[in-house]
Amino acid sequence: MDHSGHDHSQHGPEHGAMHDCDGGHGGHGHPMVFHIGVSQEILFNGWVTTNALELFGSAVAIFLAGILYEGLKYYREALYVNSTTVTGDSQVNITKNECGTNGSCRGPAVVKYTMLSTGHIAQTALHILQATFSYILMLIFMTYNVWLCLALVLGMGVGYFCFGWRKSSVIDSNEHCQ
């Protein structure tokens, strides 16, 4: 039987839902607006909150994840600065062009990574971790749950407060979700 000309909206939600694939929410299973509900699916089918205590526990975990994310960003920068900058008193294989004609280094000298150096490989692994972490946190924010978004933003704020004052640069070229 051909139902192409039939109006399915008259048969209630059980028939209309079969043809209204996006549920009226732009192709997503939830409305893309900020909300304050306690029932929330977070990242995975198994991470679902059904009451305020579960939501609070998830918010605490997300708050801590925000702090850890900022710590990871600081750690990457500190690792890079420590492995590429040496003082004039350190013994490092630096060419005379970098230290002047007499070979004495005054002030910091910059040592570059090579593509296959241990430092560059470690930085690449940490970059992959940071990018993955960044996108996971973005997906949590995209639940549009006000409490989870607030937990994430506050966690990142506390993380920046704890780690940001030690940064050598204000510009963060490694931020992935801006």
Helix (H) or strand (E) holding 149: helix 146-163
| Domain locations in the chain as residue ranges | 8-34, 38-84+114-166
pLDDT band at 9 (very low <50, low <70, confident <90, very high): very low
Query: Tokens 């639940």 — which residue?
Result: 143
Render pLDDT for 71-92 as a digit per residue (tens, 0 to 9).
999 998 888 877 766 544 444 4
- Please write the tens of the pLDDT for every residue from 39-75: 999 999 999 999 999 999 999 999 999 999 999 999 9
pTM: 0.65
